Chains A and B, each alone.
Chain A
Amino acid sequence: MAEYTIKVRRFQPESGEGPYWEEFNVDLDPSLSVLDGLLQAKDRDDGSLAVRCSCRAAICGSCGMKINGQSGLGCKTQIGEAQELADKQASAAGTGSDGNSIVIEPMGNMPVIKDLITDMESTHWTKIRRVTPWLLPHGEAPEREYVVEPESMIDITQSMACIQCGACVSSCLSMEADPDFIGPAALAKAYRFVGDPRDAETSERLHDLAEDPHGIYDCTHCFSCIDACPKGVAPMDQIMRLRRKAGEEGIEDPNAGHAHEVAFVKVIEKKGLLDEALLVQESYAPGIKGKLKPSKRGLTETIKSLPTILRPLRKRKVKLRQAIPGLHHGLPKDSMNDVKSIYTHAEEHNEEFNLYIKGEEGELIDENVEKGIERSTDPDTAEAK
C-alpha cells in the first residue's frame, strides 16, 4: 500500500460555479489503477465525484481521461506509474522531486458535462457518424455470410480494435486548432471500411475524406493519437494509409495535400535534398514535368506566403538562390544516380512493410499474409473466393 494525492479538475454544473481543482488523498497498492484511486476518493471522501466507468479492464472504453496531461484510460494506468510521471514532470520543471500530486482532468477537445464526464455525443460520435461507419456492400447481400480470405482482413483488424474511448480525440493537436477536423477516431474507423474487401464504396469514401478540407489532409502528423490509444490502433497510421490510397486514386483535394506529397517526392527525386522554394512552388503549381500549372488556390497561397519568403531574404538568413525555386544546391551527380536507382526500384515494388502484421521480431504470422497486403479490392473477386 502507498499513499497518493490525486488532484482532480472538477466541474459541478448545478453549482453555477466554474471548474476548480480538488485534491484527495488515497491509499492503495501501486499496481492498482488511477481509476481505483478515483473510486476510493468517491467512496471515502465525496460521493458526488463524477467519473464514467464500467469494466475496469480496458475493454469498455468508458474511463477516458487526462492523467498528468496525457490522454488514456483511468483503468489501464497504474497509479504507481502515474506518480512516477508526475514526479518526473515536476523535476523537469524544477518544482520538486517526489510526492507530487497526480493531475487528473476530463478529456480534451470535447465539452465537459460534470467532473471527469465529457460529452461524447457532440464531438466523438458525431464525427464517427460522419464517416458512414457501416459496410456498404456490392449488390444484394449473400444468402448466408460473406466469404473473404482471412488474410485480406488482417490489415484492418488494427482499426477494428478501437473501443471508442475517445482518448485519441482528446489528445489530437490538429483538432485543438481546428475543431472541425474529422479526427483520429473517425478516420481510423473510416479506414476500417476503406480497407474492407466487402465494401463497394471505397472510391466514394476516399473522395469524401480527401475532398473535405477538414479531412485526411488536416492531420498535422503529431503522433499524439498513436501514444494515447490504449488498444494499439495507431490512428495516424490509418490516416496515412487513407492518404496513400487517395493518392493512388488520383484524387485532387482542396488542401493540395496530395499535390504537396507528390511535389515533395519529385523534388527529392530531382535533387536528393530538399529545395524549400521549389517544394512550395511545386505544391501550388506543379511544373517539374511539363509546364507550370498554377491553380487559383495556388496563386492565392503563393501571394500569402510572399512575406514569409521576403523577411528572411531581408535578414540575409536566406540567399536569393535559395528563395528562387530550383536554384538551391542538390546532391553531387554520382549520389543522384544512386537516388534515381532507388526511385526506379521502389516505384516498381512499392511494398508496404506493415509492422502491425509482421511484428517487431519480424516473424510472419503466416506466410500468406504478405499476399494479403496486396489483396484484391474488387468485391466481386473477393466474394467469388
Chain B
Amino acid sequence: MMADQIKVAYWPGCVSRGFTPELHGSMALVAQKLGIELVELDRANCCGAGVIAEHNQELADTLNARTFALAQQTGLSMMNICSTCQGAQSECQQRLDADSAYRAHINEVLSGQGLSYEKGKDGFTNKNFLWLLVEDYGLDRLREQVVRPLNGLRVGPFYGCYIVRPKERLGYADHPDRDIYLEKVIEALGGEVVEYDGSRKCCGFPVVTMNRDTSLRQAGTHVGDAIDAGADCLVTPCPLCHLNLDMQQPEAAKIVNRDLGLSVLHLPQLVGLALGAEPKELGMDRHVASTRWVQDRLAGAAV
C-alpha cells in the first residue's frame, strides 16, 4: 500500500440511502478495505437529479452550491457514488464557475447559513468513485489490493448517461478516457469485459413514471443485449440505473417479452468481491435479480 492516504468529503446521494441501501453499505466496506477515508456530508441535500433544474435552475444551483460549500468546509474534495449526482452537480457547478457575479449572488443566499462556495478552492473537485478510483487511487494500486481476482467473470459495463454526456461539461477535455474507466476497472480486478450495445445508453429511469413502456423497453433491451453477448453480470456506478435494470427487471422482461435474469452489481460491490469481501457483506442477497450466478462463478474460479 502506498503511503498517500485518500480522504474525501463523501456525498452518498439519496437513493443509496433509500431504495439501494446495499450501495451505501458496500461503499463503506470497500472504502475501508482500500484505505479511503470517508467524511460523510450528512447535512447535504438532494442534487435535484436534473429535475429541479428543469423546474428552476437557480434553485438547483443554490442547493448544490450549498453541498459544495459544506464539502469545502471540510477542506477536502468531494466524492459521490451516483452518475446522476455527478451529472446534475457538474451541471450546476459549470454555471456557478462560469460567472463570478452569479456566484456572488448565490453565495449571498448561503451566507445566512455561514456557507460559501469558492471556485477552485484548494483544487476542489467532485468525482464519482469510478473517477477517483482510476485518477487518484490508481489502477496499479488497485491491482495490488486484489485478493480474489474475478477470473472468468464476464462483466458488462453500464455507465449511466449523466457520467458520460455531455463531454464538455464532465471534464473529458482533461480526462478523455472517462468513458472507458469501467472497462479498465473490470480488467484491473481480473474480470473479462463484455462488449454489448447498451453500455453507454440510457436505462430509461428518468421517464419511468411518465412513459413506463419507453422506459422499461430501454432497460429490458440493454439487459437482453448483455445476456446475448454472454455477460454474467452488469456493473454500474449509478443507483438510478440500478433501479431500472435490477428492481424493474421482472417488469422490463414483460415489456420486451423475453426471459431476463441478469445480476446487476453496484461498482463498489464488484470491487469488494475482488478485495475478498463476501457477497452477503456487500448486500448482494438483497437484489431483485439474483446474484447467485455471480457467486457460483467466483466460487468455481476461486483458487
- Tell me if A358 and B165 are in contact (CB < 8 A): no
Query: A232: shortest Cβ distance to chain B, in Å?
Result: 10
User: In the complex, what residue of chain B is closest to A224 when comparing beta carbons?
Assistant: B165
Which residues does chain B contribute within 8 Å of A94, judged by CB atoms? 183, 187, 192-193
Query: A164: shortest Cβ distance to chain B, in Å?
Result: 21
User: In the complex, what residue of chain B is closest to A284 when comparing beta carbons?
Assistant: B209
- Tell me if A347 and B59 are in contact (CB < 8 A): yes
The docked-state distance in angstroms from the alpha carbon of A316 to that of B166 is 36
**B167 CB within 8 Å of chain A:** yes
**B293 CB within 8 Å of chain A:** no
Query: B263: shortest Cβ distance to chain A, in Å?
Result: 13
Chain A interface: which size bin? 35 or more
Contact of A317 among B192, B211, B286 (CB under 8 A): B286
Select the stretch in B60-68, B73-81, B129-137 that faces chain A. Answer: B60-68
Select the stretch in A139-147, A215-223, A288-296 that faces chain B. Answer: A215-223
**A352 CB within 8 Å of chain B:** yes
Beyond A94-B187, A358-B99, A360-B98, whether A261 also contacts B55 by CB under 8 A is yes
User: In the complex, what residue of chain A is closest to B187 when comparing beta carbons?
Assistant: A94
Query: A174: shortest Cβ distance to chain B, in Å?
Result: 6
Which residues does chain A contribute within 8 Å of B55, judged by CB atoms? 244, 247, 261-262, 264-265
Query: B50: shortest Cβ distance to chain A, in Å?
Result: 6
Query: B187: shortest Cβ distance to chain A, in Å?
Result: 7
Which residues does chain A contribute within 8 Å of B213, judged by CB atoms? 178
Which residues does chain B contribute within 8 Å of A222, judged by CB atoms? 161, 165, 201-202
**B207 CB within 8 Å of chain A:** yes
- Tell me if A351 and B58 are in contact (CB < 8 A): yes
- Tell me if B51 and A264 are in contact (CB < 8 A): yes
Which residues does chain B contribute within 8 Å of A334, judged by CB atoms? 43
Per-position 1/0 for B10-39, Cβ under 8 A of A: 000011011111100000000000000000
User: In the complex, what residue of chain A is closest to B166 when comparing beta carbons?
Assistant: A226
**B212 CB within 8 Å of chain A:** yes
The docked-state distance in angstroms from the alpha carbon of A328 to that of B46 is 14
Query: B109: shortest Cβ distance to chain A, in Å?
Result: 5
Per-position 1/0 for A314-344, Cβ under 8 A of B: 0111100010000011011011001101110
Query: B41: shortest Cβ distance to chain A, in Å?
Result: 10
- Tell me if A301 and B212 are in contact (CB < 8 A): yes
- Tell me if B102 and A255 are in contact (CB < 8 A): no
Beyond A88-B177, A256-B209, whether A317 also contacts B52 by CB under 8 A is no
Per-position 1/0 for B102-121, Cβ under 8 A of A: 10000001101101000000
Contact of B98 among A244, A304, A358 (CB under 8 A): A358
**A311 CB within 8 Å of chain B:** yes
Which residues does chain A contribute within 8 Å of B184, judged by CB atoms? 92
Contact of B210 among A176, A260, A308, A353 (CB under 8 A): A260
- Tell me if A350 and B56 are in contact (CB < 8 A): yes
**A243 CB within 8 Å of chain B:** yes
Query: A107: shortest Cβ distance to chain B, in Å?
Result: 16
Which residues does chain A contribute within 8 Å of B167, judged by CB atoms? 227
**B175 CB within 8 Å of chain A:** no
**B272 CB within 8 Å of chain A:** no
Per-position 1/0 for A54-96, Cβ under 8 A of B: 0000000000000000000000000000000000110111110
- Tell me if B248 and A260 are in contact (CB < 8 A): no
**A276 CB within 8 Å of chain B:** yes
In the complex, chain A residues 215-248 whose Cβ is within 8 Å of any chain B Cβ: 217-224, 226-227, 234, 240, 243-244, 247
In the complex, chain A residues 259-317 whose Cβ is within 8 Å of any chain B Cβ: 260-262, 264-265, 268, 272-276, 280, 283-284, 301, 304, 307-308, 311-312, 315-317
Which residues does chain B contribute within 8 Å of A177, judged by CB atoms? 204, 214-215, 217-218, 221
- Tell me if B112 and A341 are in contact (CB < 8 A): yes
Given contacts A221-B50, A317-B287, 7 further A-B contacts (CB under 8 A): A177-B215, A178-B213, A217-B210, A220-B207, A341-B109, A346-B56, A360-B98
Selected A-B contacts with CB under 8 Å, 22 pairs? A177-B214, A177-B217, A217-B211, A220-B218, A221-B161, A224-B165, A224-B202, A255-B211, A256-B209, A264-B52, A265-B59, A268-B45, A268-B63, A274-B18, A276-B18, A284-B209, A308-B247, A316-B286, A317-B19, A334-B43, A335-B43, A351-B57
A-B pairs with lowest CB-CB distance, top 4: A223-B165, A362-B99, A274-B14, A346-B59
